[in-house]
Structure 1
Amino acid sequence: MSCLVYHSKNYLAAFLATTLLYSFTYSVVAQDKAKGVDISTYKVKLALSTLPKNIDKVNSVSKIKYNYSQASLKISPQGTHGLLLSYLNSEGLPVNNAQIESDTAETSNQKLAYIAPVTKVPTVDKKLWDKQVRAKYKNGLILTVSPGVKHIAIRKYTKAGPMFINVVEVNPALNPNIKIKPALAGVTLPHTKRIQNIVKENDAIAGVNASFFKPSSGVPLGTLVINEELITGPIYDRVTLGIKDNEFRMARISLQGRVITSNGQDIKIDNVNQPRMLAAYNIIYSDKWGKLAPITPQYGLQVAIENGKIINISKDRLEIPANGYVMVGPEKQLGKLKISDPVKIIFSSSPDWTDIKQAISGGPYLVRDGQVYVDVQDQKFGSITGRNPRTAVGYTYDNRLIMVTIDGRQKCSVGATLNELARIMREFGCYNAMNLDGGSSTQMIVRGKIVNHPLNSGGNYVSNGLIVKLEN
């Protein structure tokens, strides 16, 4: 009998008042490959006093494997409580307590292997988080949207006038089903919708409008990654929120792309699915752009590539292959390419975000490394510094996402300058934060309802949003 190993999701996150522990619960299930029948289940509970010093070290497959966010543990069904403790300690995991509970008796004495991923989760206490939220938003009306998700409505009074602020704070550690990601208005880029519809169509429980976009086409302006697919490339290396397994990063992103041919040509790619900024640029267009590539620039060419091979070259607009893309650029650079030439496309980013699963661009920075930091000129923003409706996103040092809208240009809410917005995001505990598209685009949806007061009834049509949803 051969056995396949799989695991269930993380279940336990316990808070101990005196000592910070890292607690995990997971199930290890042995299954008959031929019959697909479970033969035994083990529940393993661990409490680690500290994280392994060699957390980045990767050992052989037969041992514990570490990476940034998780460890994999391989044990045998014969392993007793003591043997498991000994094994974990020998591999650098300091264990205070471990326990194996068998749901069913062992039915095989074979030396079967069991592998169970162990996700690193700082211990969290729901009551403590509730208390922290109440202390932070003292004058706010607080609503629990879902475990780990709260909506806070705040009226703030300033010398300039009143502000109506809405906040969605997300604590992913309290709910393993939370997923935070960007969402488009349509299957392809040239679409806009009200954020209320984007949230509804994605079965999300909350969302805000997100990146800047070109009003005439609906194309997002800046980095956009959805489910590990690069949808659009960066503009002016603007600041971007990256998400990997509900862990957040923020940085200014630049993209490096190349198309390499079998005869040694190495052609620089300047961007992906973005409007042309210079005639000399080479831009890649995927089927996310739509059916056809945009109009060819003067003295330019279009090169259609499918499954790693050139299938068409033309001065006219080409249809974008489903399993490929169209490269548009100057004939001087693309003129030596030939139909049937095999090509390879390579992308990298700085910093290296190859492991990022979701990303959305904005700008400028509002908070960087815990300090107010508004870099309008560095990110080449024009006249956006005045008092306006605002949307922003950030995250705390302990990995809680904070989405904010501030209504503006109304008697009930005058709006905020970027510097005021930055101070508010810092006041709300953000370690890093950035501005998103604002003005008449500013909208927040919670449980299907618009909770802010958009300038236009029902809110403007937008290209994309940042949503919070629940997935089993």
Structure 2
Amino acid sequence: MKKKIVLLILIFSFFVFSNTLIFNNKAFYINSNWANEEILKQLGFRFVKNDKIFMVFNNDLFIGKDGDFTLNFEKTFNNAYKIDDSVLYINLDFLKNYLKLKIFEKDKEKIYYDKLPELKSINLEENNLSLYFSSEISKELLNLEIDNRDLIITIEPILGDPLIIGNINFQKAKNKILIFMLNNKLKPVPIISYQKNIVKITLNFTEEEKRIIKNGLIWERKVEKFNNEKYLINYLKIDPKKVEIIPVISSKGIGTREDLREILKANNCIAGINANYFDPSTNLPIDLIIKDGKILSDKYSLRPTFIITYTNEVFIKRINLEINIYLGDLLFLVKGVNTIAKGEVLLYTDEFSLKIPKDEEKVYYQIKDNKIISIGYIENAPEGAMVLSISKKYEKYLSNVTPGTKIDLVLNSDFPFPIKHAIGAGPLLIENGKKLIDSSEEKLRYSNGLALSKTTRTIIAITKEGRVDFIVIEGYNNTGGMNYDIATDFLISKGYFYAMMLDGGGSGAMVIQNEVVNQDGQIQRGIPVGLGIK
């Protein structure tokens, strides 16, 4: 449940009762049931205090004695006034009856009025919100609620159909208007001033937030200045010895995309970020995915890989990886995993949601429990099984491969330890705490100027002590994010030892407890792969 903070706009909140009087386009705050003589004068009453009270309003004459008023020698109002320390006080119930006021009650507040003010316009410019009314209003008409990064303003009782200027969400109900400022990048801190019929709300924003999600997992959000530019940066600081980091894919399978929140929820993860690049025409991930030792997508060129071992050690490295499959004594090199590309030897796992491409020049083997269970084309691998397709050019070697033949799938790598989880992406930013010697070549490995543009960046960084930080960097106040060189310099200045980029731009997302903490709190597009934290 989101934590809510309610700001009640009161002058003296410690009083049990507070009242507002709105009359002749003026508003008065009264902290009890009695209006003092200064308020009476502003309302238009004139009076003389002797043994009796003589008071005039318009053409009416009041004569007061022992707390009671007689109006024009005819009508009597009991308990209408009192004298306290030589100051005249008038009972609000008397004013209500005499002036024919209406009353609106909310909580412990009463608002007396002759007619309701109207909200004429709402104007938002940058971080300044101005509310223009037809008359003066009291603070008691406004209620501000901060719900995480959302600001909700309730005004009641109020009338009007205001002109809206700026990016404001607005809702009207009976004698009530609600103003919504949603999905702010930072938590708003409103500062309110009242200028007769104008209310001005200056929105300051907290430039740093921190939350301990669980033991071994801390979230921080900061506005940081680097090279004279401001950036909004979200950090997930992870102790891999205390929490588990896992690759997560769309719940509908490889070849589909999904909101990161749904992916994390389906995998019982408390937080996470987007991961691999992907082909938008097929939704298939690009580069390596290994989960629990099982390969779900094969390696792509010399791009870097984030690796987690079975002892929960973490690495960011460029690695070489071959996928070998033994059919009895026959050895084949797998050219692709869960792909629609062509290749002599291809492997499909049960996570692959697209139809396995059918090729008359291929032989198809169903594999389960490390042995062949059937031969022949099938559209998808059954649960717990895999499908291997091999070009018929090798058919003469496959005559002895039959159901029951033993299968061994081996990942051969120059990485020295068994790999439990792995995600491939890039570019590689930092190695051994320094810039890459071949950084120019590294930037060129990515098409469409990916490394050069200033955009939202999702980054994995590792400290010298082995802590893993998931980082999402965005521009602040609609400015651009970071390019390769700026991100590298920034991360080195923070003391990171290894770092690599993941997919960014519109894919960049960080989710904590089902809440998007970047991108104005919205998911711009679904993704096929993420990194989750349990």
Is TM (by shorter chain) over 0.5?
yes
Deviation, structure 1 residue 193: 1.2
Deviation, structure 1 residue 183: 1.3
Are 2:367 and 1:305 aligned? yes
Distance 1:290 1:335, change over 3 A: farther
More strand by percentage: 2
Question: Is the deviation greater in 194-203 or in 330-339?
Answer: 330-339
| Cα distance between partner residues in 2 of 1:213 and 1:369 | 28
TM-score (norm 1): 0.61
Preserved CA contact (<8 Å) 2:232 2:473: yes
Distance 1:291 1:274, change over 3 A: closer
1:373-427 per-position Cα deviation (integer Å, ceiling 9, x unaligned): 374745832120211111000111101111111125x743311101111222223
Q: Give, as a single letter, the amino acid of the residue that structure 2 aligns with 1:201.
A: A
State which of 185, 196, 204 in structure 1 corresponds to 2:261.
196
- SS of aligned partner of 2:286: coil
2:213 equivalent in structure 1: 145
State which of 302, 312, 330 in structure 1 corresponds to 2:391.
330
Distance 1:189 1:334, change over 3 A: farther
Are 2:275 and 1:210 aligned? yes
| Cα distance between partner residues in 2 of 1:285 and 1:353 | 26
1:354-385 per-position Cα deviation (integer Å, ceiling 9, x unaligned): 53322211111111111123747458321202
Deviation, structure 1 residue 461: 0.2
Q: Give, as a single letter, the amino acid of the residue that structure 2 aligns with 1:283.
A: L
Deviation, structure 1 residue 437: 0.4
| Cα distance between partner residues in 1 of 2:349 and 2:524 | 30
2:130 equivalent in structure 1: none
Preserved CA contact (<8 Å) 1:164 1:412: no
| Cα distance between partner residues in 1 of 2:211 and 2:380 | 49
Distance 1:387 1:275, change over 3 A: farther
2:412 equivalent in structure 1: 349
Distance 1:272 1:206, change over 3 A: same
1:206-259 per-position Cα deviation (integer Å, ceiling 9, x unaligned): 211111122233332122122232222211142111113432112223322333
State which of 492, 514, 520 in structure 2 corresponds to 1:426.
492
1:65 equivalent in structure 2: none
State which of 454, 474, 480 in structure 2 corresponds to 1:414.
480
2:231 equivalent in structure 1: 163
1:372 equivalent in structure 2: 435
- SS of aligned partner of 1:204: coil
Distance 1:305 1:198, change over 3 A: closer
Deviation, structure 1 residue 285: 1.0
Preserved CA contact (<8 Å) 2:336 2:343: no
2:317 equivalent in structure 1: 251
Distance 1:319 1:179, change over 3 A: closer
Deviation, structure 1 residue 318: 4.5
1:283 equivalent in structure 2: 346
Preserved CA contact (<8 Å) 2:249 2:263: yes
2:533 equivalent in structure 1: 468
Q: Give, as a single letter, the amino acid of the residue that structure 1 aligns with 2:365.
A: V
- SS of aligned partner of 1:462: coil
Preserved CA contact (<8 Å) 1:402 1:430: no
Distance 1:259 1:235, change over 3 A: same
| Cα distance between partner residues in 2 of 1:180 and 1:270 | 28
Deviation, structure 1 residue 323: 4.6
Q: Give, as a single letter, the amino acid of the residue that structure 1 aligns with 2:446.
A: F
Deviation, structure 1 residue 304: 3.0
Deviation, structure 1 residue 441: 0.3
Matches within 5 A, 1:86-235: 140-157=208-225, 161-172=229-240, 176=242, 178-186=243-251, 188-235=253-300
Larger RCO, structure (CA 8 Å, separation 6 or more): 1
Preserved CA contact (<8 Å) 2:251 2:266: no
Deviation, structure 1 residue 334: 4.5
- SS of aligned partner of 1:193: coil
Deviation, structure 1 residue 162: 3.2
- SS of aligned partner of 1:399: coil
Bigger-Rg structure (1/2): 2
| Cα distance between partner residues in 2 of 1:376 and 1:335 | 47
1:266 equivalent in structure 2: 331
| Cα distance between partner residues in 2 of 1:459 and 1:376 | 30
Q: Give, as a single letter, the amino acid of the residue that structure 2 aligns with 1:320.
A: A
Deviation, structure 1 residue 330: 2.7
Distance 1:354 1:295, change over 3 A: farther
Q: Give, as a single letter, the amino acid of the residue that structure 2 aligns with 1:337.
A: L
Preserved CA contact (<8 Å) 2:457 2:482: yes
- SS of aligned partner of 1:382: coil
Q: Give, as a single letter, the amino acid of the residue that structure 2 aligns with 1:401.
A: V
Preserved CA contact (<8 Å) 1:304 1:318: no
Matches within 5 A, 1:384-395: 384-385=450-451, 386-395=453-462
Deviation, structure 1 residue 187: 5.5
- SS of aligned partner of 2:263: helix
| Cα distance between partner residues in 1 of 2:235 and 2:402 | 54
Q: Give, as a single letter, the amino acid of the residue that structure 1 aligns with 2:532.
A: I
2:523 equivalent in structure 1: 458
Q: Give, as a single letter, the amino acid of the residue that structure 2 aligns with 1:288.
A: E
2:60 equivalent in structure 1: none
Preserved CA contact (<8 Å) 1:208 1:445: yes
In structure 1, the gaps of 5 or more residues are 1-138
| Cα distance between partner residues in 2 of 1:147 and 1:344 | 42
Distance 1:452 1:376, change over 3 A: farther
